[in-house]
Structure 1
Amino acid sequence: MQRLSYIVAYPIIWGISILPFPLLYILSDCIYVLVYHIIGYRKKVVRANMRRALPHLTKEELHKTEKKFYHHFCDSFLEMVKTLNMSQKEVAERFVVTNPEALHQMESEGKSAALLTGHYANYEWILGMSQHLTTHKGFGIYKPMKNIYFDRLVRRIRGKLNSELIGVKDVIPTMRKNLREGKHGFYGFVTDQSPMLGSAIHWGKFFGQEVPVQVGGEMLSKKMGLNIAFSKIEKVKRGYYQCTFLRVEGDVSKVPNFEVTDNFMHMLEQQIIKEPAYYLWTHKRFKHCREAAVNESQC
């Protein structure tokens, strides 16, 4: 069944990936009508998240932000598919790093670095910058897909951009192996994901809510001697993004535990408040909170 679904879907994926960007966004507008107006994909989750995080917005402003988010959501999905047939030049033109010197400085120190990012703008393209800006290889931490054929496809796409996906269970072995072999890289951690309650070791504030926070990027950096930088990704216009790396200065091992992660979450929150439509509101970021955890119920 997995193979059959892949065989059926792959020609469609390939066909989308070879579309020029103007046609890609016409298709995206059509998919928006289907996803938002007809299917109503995760509308309840999106609205609940926005009401919780953006209480300062009026009902009309929330509705406008919701529609703008779904347009961006459809664009982002097709942009990810488009990566299958994007050239190095296209990636460099559409995902611009504003301060490549920050990457070069970390490279010159002969150390790997953790790049903390969130589900904002086009976070999928961040590792593509290792293809043309750095000598370090890019590594993305992800949860492998259940369909092994689609999982291989996603890995192949990343490999095309001089980056590699690492399953969450393989992160530490891969880092140790690279250290032994003297190989350096940039490890991308999507830090705003909601961890399972049983594995949560830190609770932080996000939009005033006390929620469990992923701290793997920070704690592994301290353990493995990595540099850390925040990845501030912004949408310039449709199909174009820019990223600014904000390095955590000094010896991160001496920074109090969880302070780096809390500072990143605060930065991400301020960015979302400024332009909320580009955050991934479909994932249940507030599904756990401190009060609910005590009562073993959902927030």
Structure 2
Amino acid sequence: MRKRSIDVLLYMLSLLPFWILYGISDALYYVLFYVIRYRKHVVFDNLKNSFPEKSEQERYQLAKKFYRFFPDLVIEAIKMRTMSAEQVLERIELLNPEEVYRHFEDNKGVIGVTAHYGNWELGIYSLSLMTNNPRLVIYKPLNDKAFNEVYNGLRRRFGATMVPMKQILRHVVRLKDMPYISMFVADQTPTYQDSDYFMEFLNQETLVYTGTERIARLTKNPVVYCHIGRKTKRGHYFCKFTTLVENPDDYQEHEITQLHNRFTEQIIRGQPEYWLWTHRRWKRKRRI
């Protein structure tokens, strides 16, 4: 019943035109930043620890830019409930899909990796529309089951298969020796049971997932980064693919994990305001 109520509400709101939704986003910025101060201590602490070389004023301006962008993500996620394929392709440009297609032509699967950067959710739609080969989106289930089901329903609209992290192995084994793409959002915070590997990320010792590397080594498939960046026009994005690893066997343990996290860090440093700074990314500390 609750799932149905959430879905109906999302559907009704998604029927509003973008100009109204962006007006709501503008109002949300003031509410989130100045009134309820949504996770403001988390955002400011994350920015301070990530960019100690910047002045307090510079970090304050970065925070304001992030809070202006964050409500856009919310309303764009709502709009995804009824967006057509044509609207998706109008809003996110695939700059070089041939970088993925060339691996498909070699009859290889692609281990995709991305981050909570730009509009990664809209990136799922563009990924679904660029090929008819199997598209797996690896996700960490939410604690709220009703919202989790609604959210995954949105993500599946154009053919993606949602795969919980703990089930990825059975899926890639089933797809052995055929072209497919599995997309990992690899900048989430793992539990101590899921990973014990720490590395420096944005000037901080960070517990990171190693699942992307493990699956790449198991399947011998290339690792391709999907960079979802924002264009200057509001609500418009680009997707650029970069093959980070052609042959996983050429790398030592943890090198692939280091590689894609460093790539993410480079993107964040370029335009920090488009990363999800409200996330408590560094809540796991090394156990003594």
Query: What's the TM-score once normalised by structure 1's chain length?
Result: 0.89
Among candidates 170, 176, 201, match of residue 167 of structure 2: 170
Among candidates 191, 196, 209, match of residue 186 of structure 2: 191
Query: Is 1:285 the equivalent of 2:273?
Result: no
Query: Is 1:254 the equivalent of 2:237?
Result: no
Query: Is 1:60 the equivalent of 2:57?
Result: yes
Matched position secondary structure for 2:241: strand
Among candidates 259, 267, 284, match of residue 271 of structure 1: 267
Query: Is 1:118 the equivalent of 2:115?
Result: yes
Indicate conservation of the 8 Å contact 1:130/1:161, yes or no. no
Matched position secondary structure for 1:286: coil
Task: Give, in whole Å, the separation in 1 of the partners of 2:266 and 2:142.
Answer: 31
Structure 1 residues 110-259: aligned runs within 5 Å: 110-179=107-176, 184-237=179-232, 238-259=234-255
Indicate conservation of the 8 Å contact 1:17/1:85, yes or no. yes
Indicate conservation of the 8 Å contact 2:6/2:147, yes or no. no
The residue type equivalent to 1:121 in the other structure is G
Matched position secondary structure for 2:138: strand
Structure 1 residues 84-123: aligned runs within 5 Å: 84-123=81-120
Task: Give, in whole Å, the separation in 2 of the partners of 1:217 and 1:92.
Answer: 27
Among candidates 33, 42, 47, match of residue 30 of structure 2: 33
The count of aligned residue pairs is 287
Query: Is 1:23 the equivalent of 2:15?
Result: no
Indicate conservation of the 8 Å contact 2:133/2:179, yes or no. yes
The residue type equivalent to 1:72 in the other structure is F
* Identical positions, percent: 28
Runs (5+) with no aligned partner, structure 2: none
Query: Is 1:82 the equivalent of 2:79?
Result: yes
1:279 CA drift (Å): 0.7
Moved more, 94-103 or 245-254: 245-254
Between structures 1 and 2, the one with greater helix share: 1
Runs (5+) with no aligned partner, structure 1: 295-299
Indicate conservation of the 8 Å contact 1:103/1:134, yes or no. no
- Which string of whole-angstrom CA distances, capped at 9 and with x for unpartnered residues, describes residues 148-167 of structure 1? 43333222222212212111
Indicate conservation of the 8 Å contact 1:113/1:186, yes or no. yes
Moved more, 138-147 or 120-129: 138-147
1:249 CA drift (Å): 4.2
Q: In the alignment, which residue of structure 2 is the partner of 1:297?
A: none
Give the RMSD, CA atoms, in angstroms.
1.8
- Which string of whole-angstrom CA distances, capped at 9 and with x for unpartnered residues, describes residues 158-207 of structure 1? 2212212111222112222233xx65421111111121124323221102
